[in-house]
Amino acid sequence: MNDMTLIKLTQERAQAIDMECAMLFTVGFAKYVPIGALMLISDTPLKEKGIKTAASAKLVFEKYTGLHLDTGITVLKNM
C-alpha cells in the first residue's frame, strides 16, 4: 500500500477493506438481489497496535461473536 492510499483511507476513516463482500454486493446489485453483510472486524491495521495477533483475535471473537450472531438473527427475523 502506498503512502497516498494510506492517507486517503485514514482521512475516510476506513475500518476494513473486504473484497469478498464487495463482490457479493456488486453481483447482488447487478442481478437486483437484496444483500447485506454483518462483519466482525478483528483487526484495524491503520491504527497503532491494530494488527491482529492470535491472542487479540481470540479476545475479540470470545467477546463479540455471541452478540454478533444474536444481532444478525434479530435483523433477519425483523425483515
**How far apart are alpha carbons 51 and 44 in whole angstroms?**
6
Do residue 7 and residue 26 come from a single domain?
yes
Categorize the per-residue pLDDT at 21 as very low, low, confident or very high, splitting at 50, 70 and 90: confident
Do residue 30 and residue 43 come from a single domain?
no
Position 13 pLDDT exceeds 80: no
Position 52 pLDDT exceeds 70: yes
Do residue 32 and residue 42 come from a single domain?
no
Position 54 pLDDT exceeds 90: no
Categorize the per-residue pLDDT at 63 as very low, low, confident or very high, splitting at 50, 70 and 90: very high
Count of structural domains within the chain = 2
Phi, psi of 67 (to 5 degrees): -60, -40
**How far apart are alpha carbons 30 and 48 in whole angstroms?**
38
Rounded average pLDDT over 43-63: 82
